[in-house]
Amino acid sequence: MTGSQFAQANCNAWRVGGLGMPFVTNRGVRIHYETIGNGPALVLHHGTFGSGATWIDLGYVDTLKADHQVILPDSRGHGQSDKPHDPTAYDLARRTSDVLAVLDDLGIQKADYFGYSLGGWIGFGLAKHAPDRFRSFIFGGSHPCGENMQPFRDLMPRDRDAFAAMVDQIFGDRLTAVIRTRLLASDLDALRALTQDRESNADVLPSMTMPCEPMPTVVPMIERKAGEARPSSKQITTSSAMARPSPP
């Protein structure tokens, strides 16, 4: 058995009953993902507190699955993926390699990418470190600039009742009962560990020649923080889904 065959067999060992809900192991961390639909590959990457299932709950997948193979990873620390409590497990290099590991597991060389919040930040990392793997990007609620995340760490309570109160205060009635239940099952130690200060990737902006679509709130954020040229705003086929509610 060749090395690549062994790696594929190792990935396949984590597949769940052929239901399209496999795991891939990347640097010792299991990453869960789901695939739905047929067509060009499109990665939807959620934000902090979310999971791949959030995109299903909010209707994005129903809109896109007829024309795309929608790929829904659970970022490390979220959903059904492993949840390390070591902050060093959540640097950008590991996060971007998780997405690439999912694509490799599926045998996909190129995909479109739509990331919201945390997912958008990871998307800028992918545009910088693996631009040849992506045809286009949509960035929502995110920017590529360095950021001190201490205010967000301060919001992460250790007590579950306090966490539930925080969730209700932040999201209010925007959460369905299903999403709220899933969110409240979060690993609080992992959430604190993954909320690390973010390094700047603003230097990637001038080099992003692939089609990109920053959601409306992102453009002034980039201009204010980076003061640099932003990616060209070219419409791609997933833009019709952006009218839907923003995922957590």
Q: Is residue 78 included in any domain, yes or no?
A: yes
* 34 sits in which H/E element: strand 29-36
**Residue 246 — pLDDT band, cuts 50, 70, 90?**
low
Q: Is residue 127 included in any domain, yes or no?
A: yes
**What's the number of domains the chain is made of?**
1
Q: Is residue 122 included in any domain, yes or no?
A: yes
Structure tokens at 56: 């299903």
Q: Is residue 177 included in any domain, yes or no?
A: no
Q: Residue 51 in contact with residue 182, Cβ under 8 Å?
A: yes
For residue 125, the enclosing domain spans 3-144+201-243
Global pTM value: 0.81
Return the SS3 of 91: coil
The mean pLDDT value of the chain amounts to 82
Interatomic CA distance for residues 88 and 198, integer angstroms: 12
Q: Is residue 248 included in any domain, yes or no?
A: no
Q: Is residue 216 included in any domain, yes or no?
A: yes
Interatomic CA distance for residues 24 and 194, integer angstroms: 20
**Residue 219 — pLDDT band, cuts 50, 70, 90?**
very low
Interatomic CA distance for residues 88 and 197, integer angstroms: 11
Q: Of the given ranges (138-142, 146-150, 172-176), which has the lowest mean pLDDT?
A: 172-176
Instruction: Supply the CATH number for residue 38's domain.
Output: 3.40.50.1820
Position 229 pLDDT exceeds 50: no
Q: Is residue 173 included in any domain, yes or no?
A: no
pLDDT at residue 97, rounded to an integer:
98
Q: Is residue 31 included in any domain, yes or no?
A: yes
Position 190 pLDDT exceeds 60: yes
